[in-house]
Chain A
Amino acid sequence: MIQNQLQNRLENPNAAVAPIRAGASVRFEGVVKDFAGHRALADFDLTLHAGEFVALLGPSGSGKTTALRVLAGLESTDAGTIRIDGTDVSTLPTSRRDLGMVFQSYSLFPHLSAGENVEFGLRMRKVRGEERRARAAAALALVGLDAHYDRFAHQLSGGQQQRVALARALVTEPRVLLLDEPLSALDAQVRVALREEIRRIQTELGITTLFVTHDQDEALAVADRVAVMRDGSIEQIGAPEELYTRPASSFIADFVGLSNRLVGVVRHGFAQVQGVALPLVDPSQADGPVSVSVRPEDLEFSAAGAPGVVLSSSFHGSLRRTKVRLGDGTALVVQHGARLHPSAGERVTVRFTGAPVSVDPISAPA
């Protein structure tokens, strides 16, 4: 199966490869995990479909790593079940869950070469010498490191170490691949290259993957679906585009992408902000005072709009973000093309493009 796949790649590295098998499905049902009085997972539910790449995104302490670790069996659950392909694995020891995992910190065994590291899982499964070495070499070839079989961890760069760790996690053909912030120790360029590599390999092998990260760019760039966690449960789960364009709350709007927070009022299914009526992501929102989240790209400079003064402007390659203070003191970030170059102190007028906004009710002060 994966072995043949790996061999094919070795012999014909440029061939396009179709997914070779559907991965396993994973289901968390009402999982609870407490740490010394702190609830890390609160009635946590999540389903990963076979072959799906799901990113768990959230601020530190939101429980994302705990969710991954209970799936791996590295932490026990206090309640709830975890099923892989319908079988309850909650009480199985880690070594018998048939998972591959890449850790945040470099986890290669320092006393073994890269190849021997990859062989380790096969050795545990009593795979014999020649076959073991061939499979390890094929897995290293998959991550582009077949020439580094004899190198030790301290002779490899951080990115190479994480690639070897990925090969080591994949060589046993696990049912699920778990990635615990595997890129966070790497520098920016290597990070982007490796995350694309991970996605390519995942697509080729069709392995169900749970990817924990606190970096929204990373999550949005590689995942089929992104689950944003807060206080031990999932606040919203959906395709990256859905999460970005239709955030369920201002927490999501703030956490996924940039967002301006404005005070407004919901009336008759529209948010009234700065004298403009904006459509709502969730039209069923009850009337009342709200905090409105507006994306910087949903604002533009236009002749007709609210007048303001430019505070600062920053360059981001193909675009610019300009901070403007409106007449009433509200500060806004406007995203626009890089050709426009407003300077501090310049007078501008800002207009809402009319894209749907997400809102959070503000409780009236007592």
Chain B
Amino acid sequence: MKKIQTILVVMAAMMALTACEKVSPIGVLVSGTGVEDRVKMSHLYFQQHKGEGHFFDISGKDEYSFIIGADSHMTTDGGRMREMLQNGLDHDDLLYAHLGDMADTKPEYYINLENVISEYKWKFARKYFEELFLGNDESVEERENPDFYMYKDSLTGMVYSVDDVPMPFFPVVGNHDITHNGWAQWSNIFHSSFYEVLVQIKSEPLTLDRFIFLDTANGTLGEEQVNLIEEDGYALREYLETNIRNTFVFSHTNIFRPSSLQFASTFAREETFFLLNQFHKWDATIVFCGHVHKWDEQVVDNVHYITLDSMSERNSPNPGDYLLRVHVKANGELTWERVRMNYTKK
């Protein structure tokens, strides 16, 4: 009994001693970069790259659409991720959003993910941009190598290498993306975990649809992000004086649990109510969530909350309606449809 008492006292002392700002007492349950650091890095990056690939002008078009997937948990098999991107490409979606847990943290899985993203950047560039071949026409090897191509966006006049092509793929970060210090890998590919995308519907008067991507991987926004949200201190703040028509919010962590058997962490009480209140203030149209691998749909305070199933071939091995496509008409009317995925592991 003495031994148990000694162990308990030592454990208690260790926890008390680690209760300082630099070494958080919750460190016994934490690994990797915290949300505060991620948000600071993301916000700084986004400020410095303001508007790069985050602004779309669809003035004069009758409709646009965007596709959403969640929890791909990619490992060695990129089949489902390819299927999502191909679906978006085939359907001419304006943007592709991903609700986090893209890969399962190991470096080799992120290399696979980056390869798939690069593959589709090339496909995207070939479909939408003017191609400039810089190699030897007679070399088959060079013709099949993306490094020998440049792509010109005829709308902006910008010229890109394949690596720099602004494919409109917008992910949020999930808890599996950053455990075991995965943020270093995630940020190397996607740079920012907290950002905003704007779609111009018409210029007179300036009317925008707003897409807000939140960093909720830790199950909390963190103090920095709460402050930025309360100040509405996003990177594209100058546009907020304009008419915002629809606001779409993307969060990895879900707000509502689909059933009592969903045991993944959701937001703590105060933060749940803070978010519900904030979504109301933003007049959010739809809040998209992932994390629990279970479809759920709620309407609370005139805001739609849609939680998507996992698109991972491991979690959802059979074909199913794992993706979601939202259609937005010029008059602001919205419809959405669930999109089937057919890929199964070979």
Chains A and B are bound partners: no
Question: What residues of chain B have their CB less than 8 Å away from a CB belonging to chain A?
Answer: none
Question: What residues of chain A have their CB less than 8 Å away from a CB belonging to chain B?
Answer: none
